Structure 1
Amino acid sequence: MDGGQIIASVLERQGVRQLYTLCGGHISPILVAAKRIGIDIIDVRDEASAVFAADATARMTGIPGVAAVTAGPGLTNTITAVKNAQLAESPLVIFGGATATVLEGRGSLQDIDQVALMQPHVKQVFTPRSVRQLVPTIEAAFRIAQEGVPGPVFVETPVDLLYPEATVREWYIDQGGVKKPKNLVGYATRAFLEQHLARQFWGAPGPKAQAPVPVPMHDANRRDVDKLLGWLREAKRPVFVVGSQTVSVAAQAPAIAAALESIGVPVWLAGGARGLLGQQHHLQYRHKRTASLKAADLVVVFGFPLDFRLGYGRSIGSKAKLVTVNLGASALTQNRRPTLGVHAHPGRFITQIAAGLGDGAGAQNAQRWQPWFDEISEREQARDAEIVEQGKAEVDGVNPIDLFLQLEQLMADDSVLVVDGGDFVATAAYIVRPRRPLSWLDPGVFGTLGVGGGFAVASCAVRPEAEVWLIYGDGSSGYSLAEIDTCVRRGLAPIAIIGNDGSWQQIARDQIEILGDACGTELLRTAYHTVAEGYGGRGLLLDDPAKIEATLREAQAIAKQGTPVVINVMIGNTDFRKGSISM
């Protein structure tokens, strides 16, 4: 077995079904071997998209996503996507090609210090230097990516560990000019190379790949469980905020959803946890979160940091009992010291609380907390009604609120929602509802633009039966619209909706008001539907509000035939998001 085959065997045992890449000679053996054993090799148009796709795959499946990129510029192109995965706490294994071990630091093609480049952005860097080290190294990479706070790891794979020994020997001996040494220097060089080859291939291929060891969901200690149970029984206005960490073990999502229903506390879902309770659920709320957090007497934040999204902890009333539950010890006290910090898996803690309360507790709690539910529901319904009224307003073009209200009615029950943008996407987040768990993909806390193409490619690959919607801003679409080409080549069919107002509107709104100048925020109302056609997809222009439903239905029909489609929506300006800039 060559190194590529060895790596492929580990990927297969780890349950990997997709490997995302942009080709390069440094990594070719990995791609070819993985394809031969049935792993789907999905080659994208930008290395960042490969890592974004791996990120999305990890979120939807719970198995670390895998990307392989070539050395040097191939790896440097991934940095934003890797950092996004680190901050989103997504488990990834990233393979980076590298120059031959014997040529490191000697000026070979694309040879840079990749370890120093990647170390700040991953949980661990692995640098195998012999073929026999590949299996244990990669198995360790998968384990560490999932342990504790999940995140990306990097495996540097020198090219001379991947190709067959005979090929590497030819590179070293024949092409090194020492096949037939003519002097003492030649004999010494050949001896050095022979020793180096012997060290690389001694003991190859090494141990066989093993089945993965399940990563445990760490329980909270009994004292913490009992303390929260007591507070819940005393509370009159409890609130749960449930974040992405809660669903990091994808297979447990149904049990966690059932536990939340059993507990019966009003819930706000955030990040990757959106959709955990389905499209509509009597415990789930989406609007006026801060107002409820200010009024609550008990707030439990599961797997979600007290960062800018929660006002650095100030969104929660000062008199409330605050419980933070997180896999990261430092996150428990970030920006505000809680009444109780629980270092445990947030999803597991929810199921422990449900078990502690016992069967029938949810119905009893709902009755006891009915005045609190009425108060929250009144705010929720008032905001929903306000949004409907704002959707009726006439604007110069298509009203984006009206567009999303109609999309909400038309999306299939198996839909996956990918969002990539600023103002347009944030408007969508208030209106469209994920239909089921692990079906909402946003960048995460890093606020990265450019995730859309890779996320959509992965969504279609992982769930080929699903209807995949990609909500793009016109600015953000420029980062990854070329992945329509990937979709055409691979038979993937997402529906992309581009909100086209010829502006980086989220920035422009405040920049113009505060600084009086739109410089740097102005775009053209580009014919993105024509761009899609150029890549082999279908493009639809939507500039008439009366044709929203017909255009969305046409896009659905095109996608069902296996063709990716881009709807270029000429939207008008609204003040829906005025004053919403985040710092």
Structure 2
Amino acid sequence: MVLFRPLCKYVARVERLRDIVPTVREAIKAAKSGCPGPVFVEFPVDVLYPYELVVKEIGFNPNAKGFIQKALNFYLRCHVSRQFGNAWLQQTITPLPTNVPMPKSEQIQEIVQLVKSAKRPVLLIGSQATLPPVKPSDLVKAVEALGCPVFLGGMARGLLGKDHPLQMRQVRKDALKDADLTILAGTVCDFRLSYGRTLSKKSKIVALNRNYSQLTKNEKAFWNSNVSVQADVATSLVQVANSLGSNHSKPTEWVKTLREKDDEKEAANAKKMEQKLSNGFLNPLNFLKTLDQSLPDDAILVADGGDFVGSAAYIVRPRGPLQWLDPGAFGTLGVWWRFCSRCQTVYPKRPVYIIWGDGSCGYSLMEYDTFARHK
């Protein structure tokens, strides 16, 4: 249990059968509240066996004569009574309400004023923006209402579809350098943003995140926020968009400038994709380009790897929201087969593609045997 506490939001051990339902309800609530994360519930083996088997195997001595044997029988009866007592009483099994932090109206108004005064805003959207309660379609409308250039990361990839005019892919560094307002919508200032050092010192910064630790990561060391809001990311963006109204002046010239730079970078990358490698091996960039051109609109992409997936993130374009799954920032390789099997279970008629790096392959190649045995 000590091993799991630093890694999990909730850790518990079930010692009585009547505690199974309330413990699992609390675990699910903890997993889904705030910033979703892992929980751990231990079920000791003695709560998994039926009553009759436990009574039979626990070691009662029906012919106990001495004090010690009778005392042991008494202890064992008390243990069984405690373990199974009230186990069959009716219990509430409906999910407990989750706790999702919401923005305050004054925080939203602060952000609105910054957006109105900005000439070169940039919006960085991370995985948290895809979480309920806001639907992806409503988030897309909010992003379009803001009208600023967007960079997507993590599971937010695909939010705007394949070729949305606001989404940029190749010029994030240039955009952050010239921006006068940077909105970190679920994006964390870790190694992916050089711990915040890529953010312009001249830019106003708005940080939105459900988790306080992620919200303030490396702040004061390499960057400083003007507005920090610990709240649901998508809800915050929707409220900002609604407060701006239909008369909001969108930075169309700024979007046009970045679009031209992004297209130039895309063209330069396209030339690299066509190059033949001197060793005669397959050009991975060309392969990813070919894959992108052949993807159906309902494809679900499971990207599991390191450098190969890093390249795929800039070349392969998910066709819609929640159609990109990857191991996350810490490179927990080998998750592809779990993602794929669950995706195929939920969407049996949709194609699921694996973008698979060699490291992940080394961790989990044997899972093909699992698929073969359980197909």
Once residues 346 and 293 of structure 1 are traced to their aligned partners in structure 2, the CA distance between those partners, rounded to angstroms, is 20
Change beyond 3 A, Cα 1:222–1:120: same
Instruction: Decide whether the 8 Å contact of 1:238 with 1:297 is kept in 2.
Output: yes
1:188-238 Cα distance to aligned partner (Å, 9 max, x none): 211110110011111113442432244354321111111111111111000
What amino acid is aligned across from residue 252 of structure 1 in structure 2?
K
1:298-320 Cα distance to aligned partner (Å, 9 max, x none): 00101121111111111111010
Tell me whether 146-155 or 453-462 shows the greater mean CA deviation.
Answer: 453-462
| Residue 163, structure 1, aligned to residue 49, structure 2 | yes
Change beyond 3 A, Cα 1:404–1:121: same
Shift of 1:128: 2.0
Instruction: Decide whether the 8 Å contact of 1:297 with 1:321 is kept in 2.
Output: yes
Structure-1 residue corresponding to 2:234? 347
Once residues 252 and 340 of structure 1 are traced to their aligned partners in structure 2, the CA distance between those partners, rounded to angstroms, is 25
Over aligned residue pairs, what C-alpha RMSD do you find? 1.7
1:119 match: secondary structure? coil
What amino acid is aligned across from residue 236 of structure 1 in structure 2?
K
Instruction: Decide whether the 8 Å contact of 2:134 with 2:235 is kept in 1.
Output: no
Once residues 465 and 357 of structure 1 are traced to their aligned partners in structure 2, the CA distance between those partners, rounded to angstroms, is 41
1:90-121 Cα distance to aligned partner (Å, 9 max, x none): xxxxxxxxxxxxxxxxxxxxxxxxx1121111
Tell me whether 263-272 or 201-210 shows the greater mean CA deviation.
Answer: 201-210
Once residues 90 and 33 of structure 2 are traced to their aligned partners in structure 1, the CA distance between those partners, rounded to angstroms, is 23
Once residues 354 and 251 of structure 1 are traced to their aligned partners in structure 2, the CA distance between those partners, rounded to angstroms, is 13
| Residue 435, structure 1, aligned to residue 319, structure 2 | yes
1:123-163 Cα distance to aligned partner (Å, 9 max, x none): 11111211111111111111111111211111111122222
What amino acid is aligned across from residue 434 of structure 1 in structure 2?
P
Once residues 250 and 339 of structure 1 are traced to their aligned partners in structure 2, the CA distance between those partners, rounded to angstroms, is 26
Change beyond 3 A, Cα 1:416–1:250: farther
Once residues 319 and 251 of structure 1 are traced to their aligned partners in structure 2, the CA distance between those partners, rounded to angstroms, is 32
Once residues 465 and 349 of structure 1 are traced to their aligned partners in structure 2, the CA distance between those partners, rounded to angstroms, is 34
Structure-1 residue corresponding to 2:268? 386
| Residue 481, structure 1, aligned to residue 365, structure 2 | yes
Q: How does 1:398-417 map to 2 (within 5 A)?
A: 398-417=282-301
Instruction: Decide whether the 8 Å contact of 1:135 with 1:207 is kept in 2.
Output: no
1:120 match: secondary structure? coil
What amino acid is aligned across from residue 239 of structure 2 in structure 1?
Q
2:190 to 299, 307, 317: 307
Instruction: Decide whether the 8 Å contact of 2:13 with 2:42 is kept in 1.
Output: yes
Change beyond 3 A, Cα 1:126–1:216: closer
Once residues 274 and 368 of structure 2 are traced to their aligned partners in structure 1, the CA distance between those partners, rounded to angstroms, is 33
2:5 match: secondary structure? helix
Once residues 242 and 136 of structure 2 are traced to their aligned partners in structure 1, the CA distance between those partners, rounded to angstroms, is 16
Once residues 55 and 336 of structure 2 are traced to their aligned partners in structure 1, the CA distance between those partners, rounded to angstroms, is 43
Instruction: Decide whether the 8 Å contact of 1:278 with 1:437 is kept in 2.
Output: yes
Number of aligned residue pairs: give it: 369
1:284 match: secondary structure? coil
Shift of 1:407: 0.7
TM-score by length of 1: 0.61
1:140 to 22, 26, 35: 26
| Residue 331, structure 1, aligned to residue 234, structure 2 | no
Structure-2 residue corresponding to 1:23? none
| Residue 370, structure 1, aligned to residue 256, structure 2 | no
1:468-503 Cα distance to aligned partner (Å, 9 max, x none): 111112232021122222223333xxxxxxxxxxxx
Structure-2 residue corresponding to 1:220? 103
Higher RCO (Cα < 8 Å, 6 or more apart): 2
2:157 to 274, 277, 281: 274
TM-score by length of 2: 0.94
Instruction: Decide whether the 8 Å contact of 1:217 with 1:348 is kept in 2.
Output: no
Structure-2 residue corresponding to 1:466? 350
Once residues 259 and 88 of structure 2 are traced to their aligned partners in structure 1, the CA distance between those partners, rounded to angstroms, is 62
1:419 match: secondary structure? strand
| Residue 191, structure 1, aligned to residue 78, structure 2 | no
Instruction: Decide whether the 8 Å contact of 1:262 with 1:360 is kept in 2.
Output: no
1:371-395 Cα distance to aligned partner (Å, 9 max, x none): 2112211221011111110111111
Instruction: Decide whether the 8 Å contact of 1:275 with 1:434 is kept in 2.
Output: yes
What amino acid is aligned across from residue 78 of structure 2 in structure 1?
Q
What amino acid is aligned across from residue 179 of structure 2 in structure 1?
A
Shift of 1:360: 5.9
Instruction: Decide whether the 8 Å contact of 2:34 with 2:100 is kept in 1.
Output: no
1:444-475 Cα distance to aligned partner (Å, 9 max, x none): 11122222222222222222122111111223
Instruction: Decide whether the 8 Å contact of 2:25 with 2:96 is kept in 1.
Output: no
2:61 match: secondary structure? coil
1:471 match: secondary structure? strand
Once residues 281 and 179 of structure 1 are traced to their aligned partners in structure 2, the CA distance between those partners, rounded to angstroms, is 77
Instruction: Decide whether the 8 Å contact of 1:452 with 1:477 is kept in 2.
Output: no
Structure-2 residue corresponding to 1:418? 302
Structure-2 residue corresponding to 1:208? 91
2:128 to 245, 250, 254: 245
Unaligned regions of 5+ residues in structure 2, if any?
Answer: none
1:41-75 Cα distance to aligned partner (Å, 9 max, x none): xxxxxxxxxxxxxxxxxxxxxxxxxxxxxxxxxxx
Instruction: Decide whether the 8 Å contact of 2:289 with 2:315 is kept in 1.
Output: yes
Change beyond 3 A, Cα 1:438–1:180: farther
What amino acid is aligned across from residue 352 of structure 1 in structure 2?
Q
What amino acid is aligned across from residue 457 of structure 1 in structure 2?
S
Structure-2 residue corresponding to 1:455? 339
Once residues 101 and 74 of structure 2 are traced to their aligned partners in structure 1, the CA distance between those partners, rounded to angstroms, is 53
Shift of 1:328: 1.4
Once residues 427 and 385 of structure 1 are traced to their aligned partners in structure 2, the CA distance between those partners, rounded to angstroms, is 15
Once residues 158 and 125 of structure 2 are traced to their aligned partners in structure 1, the CA distance between those partners, rounded to angstroms, is 11
| Residue 235, structure 1, aligned to residue 118, structure 2 | yes
Change beyond 3 A, Cα 1:251–1:186: farther
Instruction: Decide whether the 8 Å contact of 1:300 with 1:324 is kept in 2.
Output: yes
Once residues 196 and 177 of structure 1 are traced to their aligned partners in structure 2, the CA distance between those partners, rounded to angstroms, is 12
Percentage of pairs with the same residue:
39
Unaligned regions of 5+ residues in structure 1, if any?
Answer: 1-114, 492-583
